A and B are shown apart, each in its own frame.
Chain A
Amino acid sequence: AQKVTQAQTEISVVEKEDVTLDCVYETRDTTYYLFWYKQPPSGELVFLIRRNSFDEQNEISGRYSWNFQKSTSSFNFTITASQVVDSAVYFCALSPLNNAGNMLTFGGGTRLMVKP
């Protein structure tokens, strides 16, 4: 069975602060993918990143960065110099890397509020 835990249900920061969203996962699969999605108030799901379990290199994309630590089963997401437009619910997700379908297991989400 797979499980994704986002312990922070809600985070509030002031604009320009850095913020890290935690994600811890459990899986028996040796190979898998990890994802982050953003759900703004409008409700759609915006894909942010996909990382496979073979690649533990950290990734940076503009103000976003991701830290994958296989040893602690964590895939944390940091927003540097947060902006009001970053306010959204962020979901971490996991899928197996096999031929039986890549259905996603989502965490409960972290609601980020960035205040001006």
Chain B
Amino acid sequence: NAGVMQNPRHLVRRRGQEARLRCSPMKGHSHVYWYRQLPEEGLKFMVYLQKENIIDESGMPKERFSAEFPKEGPSILRIQQVVRGDSAAYFCASSLAGTGAYEQYFGPGTRLTVT
């Protein structure tokens, strides 16, 4: 019973490049959350998606960041024209449903380094 998968685990990008982070939820889960952990800080919610829909993106920076969760395939967090301040660990979590009664299961994270 595979857990939440994230790839790549480590990603290095130069300033101005694009970063694509992938998240495959647990089998049967159709709700995905993305969180960002800046160095020495706690995790901050970015975006909540269900299949083919963005439900809440209140934590997402307004520019350069986008997320999708297509009908088929993993959820993608895309960062265009990366800057040094984007260096962080990005965690994805999935749950069976969107109510608080359902636990979120976290992936191992993708550590993005912008040089």
Contacts and interface: CB of A to CB of B under 8 A. Distances in A.
Contact of B42 (A32, A43, A106): A106
A41 to B, nearest CB: 13
Interface in B8-66: 31, 33, 35, 41-45, 48, 55-56, 59
Interface stretch (A55-63, A75-83, A92-100): A92-100
Contacts of B56: 100-101, 103
B45 A104 contact: yes
Contacts of B95: 102
A105 B106 CA distance: 14
Interface residues of B, number: 28
Interface of B is mostly: strand
B89 interface: yes
Contact of A44 (B33, B43, B108): B108
B109 A44 contact: yes
Contact of A103 (B45, B89, B108): B45
A91 B43 contact: yes
Contacts of B111: 43
Interface residues of A, number: 29
Contacts, number: 71
B35 A104 contact: yes
A102 B102 contact: yes
Contact of A108 (B31, B41, B45, B104): B41
Contacts of A98: 99-100
A45 B109 CA distance: 9
B98 A101 contact: yes
B100 A102 contact: yes
A6 B109 CA distance: 23
Interface of B: 31, 33, 35, 41-45, 48, 55-56, 59, 89, 91, 93, 95, 98-106, 108-109, 111
Given A96-B100, A98-B99, 12 more contacts: A33-B100, A37-B106, A43-B108, A43-B111, A44-B108, A44-B109, A97-B100, A100-B55, A101-B55, A103-B59, A106-B42, A107-B42
Interface of A: 4, 6, 31-33, 37, 43-45, 47, 50, 52, 91, 93, 95-109
